[in-house]
A = this chain, B = another copy of it.
Amino acid sequence: MQSQQAISAIPDFQPLYKQVHTVLVKRIANGDWGPGQALPSEQALALELGVSQGTVRKAMDALAAQSLIVRQQGKGSFVAEHTQEHSLYRFFRISRPAPDGARVTPELGAAKIKRRPASLVEQAKLQLDKGDEIVEIRRTRLVDQSPAIVEKIILPLALFPDIDSNEMLPNTLYSLYQGVYGISVAGVREELRAVLANKRDARSLGVASGSPLLQIDRVAIGLDDRHVEWRVSRCDTRHVVYAVDVN
């Protein structure tokens, strides 16, 4: 009656709750339930999958811990939405220095967008083939009305068809990816370095050429583990910092 049953015909050796977890991730990735929509209740899923409610609960608790879903007592469980506030703070770690430590909401400055074939580095970063096209976005972000971050964003055109025909791109691109293109960013991997401002940086940020900048090299990864975006940000850290908490 219990333990190590497989949901599919051929048993694998994952615990049941992990199998349930995997099934649910796939369904979310597949768009069975759109962002903001409610998943079936624990009971309904348990019945459908032939496991107990407690097992479904454990799988859904894991989804909630990954913030793939949001659970609300009395209402239900909902596919996480990359709304403005949410998405901004999940992957955006720029804040004011301690002891204030407040999160910062950057505003959008100038932006340029163009389409071209992927360079070799871009092919590697985004798992593309030779000849694949990408879209390059360059933009500035402001903190307290003055430019603080320059970004170069590279997107595979195949995943975001005609994204370069948008007049104005929103501040939080991830909600656009999710809402319009059905691509949810599940996680990011970032590498941080210190670099010197080149002439273009200096002009965009209003700093002296040769000023120190924090460079954030980020690859965004989708629900299906595809590399969805490559973004290189250069940040003037005189008034804001990149904050990390490890527990």
Contact = CB atoms under 8 A, between A and B. Distances in A.
Interface of A: 66, 90-91, 93, 97-99, 124, 186-196, 210, 212-215, 217, 219, 235, 237, 241-247
Question: Nearest 9 A-B pairs (CB), nearest first?
Answer: A194-B212, A187-B247, A193-B237, A194-B194, A191-B241, A192-B242, A194-B214, A190-B244, A212-B212
24 contacts: A66-B247, A90-B246, A93-B244, A186-B247, A187-B247, A188-B245, A189-B243, A190-B244, A190-B245, A191-B244, A192-B241, A192-B243, A193-B237, A193-B241, A193-B242, A194-B194, A194-B195, A194-B213, A194-B215, A194-B235, A196-B212, A210-B210, A214-B214, A244-B244
A130 to B, nearest CB: 18
A91 B246 contact: yes
Contact residues of A: prevailing secondary structure: strand
Stoichiometry (number of copies): 2
A93 B196 CA distance: 22
Contacts of A213: 194, 212
Contact of A244 (B97, B186, B192): B192
Given A124-B99, A212-B195, A212-B212, A190 B243 contact: yes
